[in-house]
Structure 1
Amino acid sequence: MIMSKLVIAEKPSMGKTIASVLGADKRQDGFCEGNGYVVTWCFGFLSEFSEPEAYDEKYGKWRFDDLPIRPDVWQYTVMRDKKQQLDRIAALANRSDVTELVNACDAGREGERIFRNVYALIHCSKPVSRLWISSMEDEAIRRGFDDLKPGSDYDNLSFAADCRAKADWLVGINATRLFSVLYHRTLNVGRVMSPTLALIVQREAEIDGFKAEPFYTVNLDFGDYRAASEKLKAKETAEEVLRKCEGQAAVVRSVEQKEKTEKAPALYDLTTLQRDANRILGFTAQQTLDYVQALYEKKRCTYPRTDSRYLTDDMVSTVPAIALSASLICNLSIPSPYITGPICNSKKVSDHHAIVPTTGSTKVGLDELPAGELEILKLIARRVLVSLSEAHRYLETTVVMDCGGSTFTAKGKQVLSPGWRQYEKPEDNSSALPDISEGMELPFVDAALKEGKTTPPKRYTEDTLLAAMETAGSKEMPEDAERKGLGTPATRAETLEKLVSTGFVERKKNKKSISLVPSHSGISLVTVLPEQLQSPLLTAEWEYRLKEVERGELSPEQFLDGISDMVATLVQTYQPVLGAEVLFPSGRTVVGKCPRCGSDVTESKKGYFCERNDCRFGLWRDNRFLAGKKINLNKKVVSALLKDGRTFISGIYSERTGKNFDADLLMQDDGNKTSFSFEFKRDGKHEAATGRT
């Protein structure tokens, strides 16, 4: 019997590419086979954490008394449309000729988790090796299989992935149910989503609270250049400066020249690529991730979910080939000379190096790529040429002059060497100042008063929000923390999309860009969330501790115990915000005023309830006393009871006699309980009755 290795890839396209390289060219239903390999694949995650009701049916209803929820033994639910593939993988793994499994899922935290979940679900105990590559090119795959690592080398990475997922479940399930129950509407809460929403809400508050203040400057026009006064608050002062300048020459007081250097920006990691794609192309973060993932699977670029902007030291020899691919993609020349040193630094590379085009990215025509993918590939390629270029050098000149007793400043810029900026918006020397020396008298052509206003902070775009997420809370984190900010490059796009899909954030298009604006419900949610769920420090601290789990410095149990304690404390100590009913209007029909607090009472499926969160007043449709009398508690009846405390009812059923009678229904409420009674029109002819709820 010929022994085989079972290779499990993350997606079908990747599995088929690996099979082709390994010579497993016999196509079967859901796998490929040959040359001592069986290659199959997942469809991303094949399972997910089970919903709370899978642990206990009581969790099917959202109740405060059931919180917090923490599974003792975690359960998984296989997605219905993926069960067939999981069964296929199990059958392949159990074949007698299969002696070993190879984890060929994406080389990262989530890829590790996808494989480990499958391995656990199929109850496999055969040895595992790990394929760890940053490119889907044939040669990279061959080298990876020549250098397979023991699967156990990545146990800690698996623990960190599992901890991250369980922590997100614990916070998401418990916090979402807690705030939804307390505020009577679905409020999705998440450890990355909520502080990201808080950033957007805070920026909107700064904009709303901003008061524009006017300012004035006096500009002297010398024809080829201009000089401006300092900003003046009073228009009268500016007009006086302008008057004194009339007919006067300007005298140069000082001329200062500084040669400045701008180093070329580093290569792209996922976040900087998403930022530029949003700013330059208008793509959302999720669109960019989808495009670059597709390019990776088509062997056009290297692994996308990276937080590094450098190549490893041993890649110096491949830089010329990468540069050639980049120049062909962009139809631009390679910088001459080009510098490899600054872009190769192994100390700044974690799991994966920066995103670059593969050396074989142009072997197949670029015209085969969809427009979005091609634009992203060109962006990546251009950044390679930029990063290999020399620095941009220029001479900055500052001239200070006096005119009419006031000081004016003129600035100019002269490009000495374009360097890396030749690949971006070229700069000319149109802003350069003429030869000016100290003591010169300069007759100006014209003088004018210019009015301006201070401007509020700008709303976030996906570009600027990604930047804010990347640095949020970093000042409070330890200097040696490997991960700072909100989320990771791989999860930030998903977070933004979830904020939009849940209705907490809206995309609003203006002339040049699309802004992210919080909705009313988003602002309301941030208003009632405690500081710990708004603060970026929570998720930044988690990422720091997850890195400790990856390094084996913190056990998974310690990490999850800390999360469970935090959730339990939140449930036990959180107090609803008084008056929050105005933040979360139900939109239900108002039938009257609450007899206890005066707030609106609205109609819902199960009855009529006070809108105020801390008020317990309610009239249930299935009230036993009224149901026994066959009284229909409709909107008309409830409105009258709330307004007058009484209403006339005809055809009331007598449970004692079996006959019907007419009477006034009276409602009394003592602040804790509501009771009902009847008042008869004719004494003695109908039975009296009372009831309490």
Structure 2
Amino acid sequence: MKLVIAEKSSVAQSLAAVIGATTRKDGYLEGNGWLVSWCVGHLAGLADADVYNPNYAKWRYDDLPILPEHWQMVVGKDKKKQFAVLKQLMNAPNVTEVVNACDAGREGELIFRSVYELAGCTKPMKRLWISSMEDSAIREGFANLRPSADYDGLRDAALCRAKADWLVGINATRLFSVLYHRTLNIGRVMSPTLALIVQREAEINTFQPVPFYTVTLELPGFSASGERMADKAAAEQLKAACQGADVTVKKVERRDKSEKPPALYDLTTLQRDANRLLGYTAQQTLDYLQNLYEKKLCTYPRTDSRYLTSDMAEGLPVLVNLVANAMPFRKGIAISCDAGAVINDKKVTDHHAVIPTCNLQNADLPGLPVGEKAVLELVAQRLLCAVADPHTYAETAVTVECAGTEFTAKGKTVKRPGWLALDAAYRAGLKSTEPDKEAEEKSLPELTEGQNLPLSGTAVKEGKTTPPKHFTEDTLLSAMETAGKADMPEDAERKGLGTPATRAGILEKLVSTGFLERKKSKKTVQLMPSHDAVSLITVLPEQLQSPLLTAEWEHRLSEIERGELSPEDFMAGISAMLQELVETYQVIKGTEYLFSPPREVVGKCPRCCGDVAELQKGFFCQNESCKFVIWKNSKWWAAKKKQPTKAVVAALLKDGRARVTGLYSEKTGKTYDATVVLEDDGQYVGFKLEFDRQEGGKR
């Protein structure tokens, strides 16, 4: 038997259906010589710090930096059952080979290898590497299984990425949290991303608008504008000079121009357009696209390529025709297919661009969830545009002279709409269409050099320079993609902050940790840093907020993938940086009140000795990795018509017991006094009552 391990049960079922493993078992499928099981995402991950040393459960400066010599992987508590299934299958005597069918990317490789090694498996490995969940792609993938050793570099890079994130997250978060007496989440990619946003807000806040003035001439069929002027009086003087002066056509230039179709989508450009046009967050777009991939309607989502491979050229016209017939917005628009515009083997890395699949033909598109349908239509629209004819037009630039000053005007005449006809038809169907990138230029009348024109009016238009715009997810994703790019080597394969697969998760973590807020302004949602975010970037040293350093790490990870850099050298650099950070960083003077006022500490957590503070709904341990909480409205307290007060919780935390008066009895309907005893098993917080002994031995 051969064992296939997918990342999710839904993917496993699709694979099993194609290779004939149709008999359902507990945690796997079987049939036709195959066993097919799944991982439930990250079954195993790097162990928490306290696994290496129980003392690390407490956050202490003296323990830093924490640099494990021998890394340990652990299985998540809620995933042990499925791990047991996989371990049993991997080590079953009748299993001769194990096929890694997890997602074909860095994280998928890590998910499989972690389980393989934790299970102690030594069976030969093969790799299923596909970019589509179509039946034909699955069959072809199984017919051409690749040696697992081909992906050792990918595994090494994935493990280095996970270890680097662990080291920076654990050490930097604890260091700054302890020094500044707040929980300050710091991440290898998260912090430089936050720095981009904070820097943008600083630029906006310090921006001083500068007024400028433009003189315009109203001429037959068009208007011409002069250059911007800083002095209003000078502009008014020019306007007065033009009134009654001759206007002469000095120069007429006509050029035929062409605008190439846009390239196909990679994940980041799709997320950007989905944010701008549909209002979806990067995470929503990724989730919708992942669902479409599993439904066999789109190709692999986590790609950084915008081209297709040459072996796809032959079938492309058929796919384009199918997509065109399925999309309502292209009715009445002729479809063309220039395959050469989207085929480039050299620009395809692990996966080609995101495109729809031929399964679109028989799919119930109206029955899809709204988000999935919208993302599918966006992907389809881009495919049709990318292979369409160029947009061609004639541009006319005219220079006229009046009162010794030159004024200019531009006009545009469309010769062939090309791909822009499809783009305009698609946008017309959107509920809230964004304005075109540039206002449609009107055509100019026929003009000849030396011609005199009658002047019908003059005006001075006042404007102001505008500040940089607040980041949206669209513009932030673009900034993340290009951060540090100018200083990176020309041949750097990966540039910027994070990867297409990780950027959405980084943004969501910044929001969930309270460093970033989504604020709606008109039709756009802006990303705004919180007060604590600005404070954090103020105290963080350059190496933890530099986009260049993190972009360089991404470049090195791609070198590890290709076998050009050893994992040991990469990890040694990370460890050395953290060692130096802990030894040299000094608290910045005058920052005591930089962060939000600290919550009042009620007592010490019985689990981790962290601070317990009162929040609206209960008393929470402030150590983020600890889940200890005493809820104010738990069933136990609600039944006694009481809420734990600060004084009661303080006593419970200090002595494990607290005297409480006026507890309600459901039996008698009366109140009574008793001692509440805290019972905490490390996972759940509970309480019991103790009563005073009365005279005569009665209670």
The answer to whether the 8 A contact 1:335-1:389 is kept is no
User: Do the aligned partners of 2:12 and 2:36 also contact (CA within 8 Å) in 1?
Assistant: yes
Q: How does 1:407-418 map to 2 (within 5 A)?
A: 407-418=406-417
Kept in 1: contact 2:335–2:384 (CA 8 A): no
Q: Residue type matched to 1:160 in 2?
A: A
Specify the alignment match of 1:351 in structure 2. Answer: 350
The answer to whether the 8 Å contact 2:317/2:337 transfers is: no
**Does 1:278 pair with 2:275?**
yes
Q: Does 1:476 align with 2:487?
A: yes
> Which residue of 214, 219, 239 maps to 1:217?
214
1:120 aligns with 2:92: no
Residue 289 of structure 2 is aligned with which of 284, 289, 292?
Answer: 292
SS state at 1:582 partner? coil
Q: Secondary structure at the match of 1:412?
A: strand
Q: Which residue of structure 2 aligns with residue 136 of structure 1?
A: 133
Whether 1:54 and 2:51 are equivalent positions in the alignment is yes
Q: Which amino acid aligns with 2:299?
A: T
The answer as to 2:496 corresponding to 1:496 is no
Structure 2: which 5+ residue stretches go unaligned? 426-435, 602-610, 614-645, 648-699
Q: How much has 1:335 moved relative to structure 2?
A: 5.0
Q: 1:225 Cα shift?
A: 1.7
1:388 aligns with 2:387: yes
Which residue among 239, 243, 248 is the counterpart of 2:245? 248
Distance verdict in 2 for CA 1:556–1:258, change over 3 Å: same
| Partner Cα separation in structure 1 for residue 57 and residue 471 of structure 2 | 38
For the pair 1:568 / 2:567, whether they are aligned, the reply is no
Structure 2 Cα separation of the partners of residues 455 and 280 of structure 1: 23
- Identify if the C-alpha distance between structure 1 residues 120 and 320 changes in structure 2 by more than 3 Å, giving closer, same or farther: same
Q: Distance in 2 between matches of 1:279 and 1:589?
A: 42
Deviation track 1:620-652 (CA, whole Å, cap 9, x = no partner) reads xxxxxxxxxxxxxx99xxxxxxxxxxxxxxxxx
1:11 aligns with 2:8: yes
1:219 and 1:450 in contact (8 A); partners too: yes
User: 1:7-406 maps to which residues of 2 (within 5 A)?
Assistant: 7-222=4-219, 224-331=221-328, 332=330, 336-406=335-405
Kindly tell me: are residues 179 and 329 of structure 1, through their superposed partners in 2, closer, same or farther at Cα, counting changes over 3 Å?
farther
Deviation at 1:430, TM superposition (A): 6.2
Q: Secondary structure at the match of 1:580?
A: coil
> Contact between 1:485 and 1:540, CA under 8 Å: does it hold in 2?
yes
* Distance in 2 between residues matched to 1:430 and 1:294, nearest whole Å: 41
CA distance in 2, matches of 1:373, 1:418: 29
Q: Distance in 2 between matches of 1:380 and 1:252?
A: 47
Amino acid of the structure 1 residue aligned with 2:424:
K
User: Are 1:457 and 2:454 an aligned pair?
Assistant: no
CA distance in 2, matches of 1:302, 1:223: 54
Residues 108-159 of structure 1 deviation map (CA, whole Å, 9 limit, x = unaligned): 1100000001111211111111100000000100000000111122111111
Name the residue aligned to 1:627.
Answer: none
> Distance between the aligned counterparts of 1:480 and 1:535, measured in 2?
21
* Alpha-carbon separation, structure 1, partners of 2:485 and 2:441: 40
| C-alpha contact (below 8 Å) 1:329/1:378 kept by paired residues | no
Distance (Å, rounded) in 1 between the aligned partners of 2:323 and 2:179: 56
Query: How far, CA to CA, are the matches of 1:336 and 1:287 in structure 2?
Result: 31
CA offset at residue 408 of structure 1? 1.3
What is the CA deviation profile of residues 185-239 of structure 1, one whole-angstrom value per residue up to 9, with x for unaligned ones?
Answer: 0111111111111110111111011001111112222353211111111111111
Q: Which residue does 1:661 correspond to in 2?
A: none
Q: Give the drift of 1:318.
A: 1.4
- Report deviation, 1:336: 4.5
Q: Is the 2:305–2:348 Cα contact (8 Å) retained in structure 1?
A: yes
Deviates more, 1:329-338 or 1:130-139: 329-338
**TM-fit CA distance, 1:576:** 1.4
* Distance (whole Å) between structure 2 residues aligned to residue 572 and residue 305 of structure 1: 39
Output one character per residue of 1:307-344: Cα deviation in whole Å (capped at 9) or x when no partner. Answer: 00000011111101221232133232685542111211
CA distance in 2, matches of 1:180, 1:261: 56
Letter in structure 2 aligned against 1:571 = V
Q: TM-score, normalised by structure 2?
A: 0.82
Q: Which runs of 5+ in 1 are unaligned?
A: 591-603, 607-633, 636-693
Aligned to 2:433: none
Letter in 2 for 1:341: G
Q: Distance in 1 between matches of 2:408 and 2:502?
A: 47
Answer yes or no: is the 8 Å Cα contact 2:531–2:596 preserved in 1: no
Superposed structure 1 runs of 4+ greater than 4 Å apart: 333-336, 426-430
Q: 1:19·1:25 contact (CA, 8 Å) conserved in 2?
A: yes
Specify the code of the residue in structure 2 equivalent to 1:458.
K
Q: CA deviation at 1:369?
A: 0.9
Identity of aligned residues (%): 59
RMSD: 1.9
Number of the residue aligned with 2:666: none
Question: Structure 1, residues 21-53: CA drift from partner, whole Å, max 9, x if none?
Answer: 011111122211100001111111012221111
Give the Cα separation in 2 of the matches to 1:232 and 1:86.
71
Is contact 2:256–2:395 with CA below 8 Å preserved after alignment? yes
Whether 1:523 aligns to 2:542 is: no
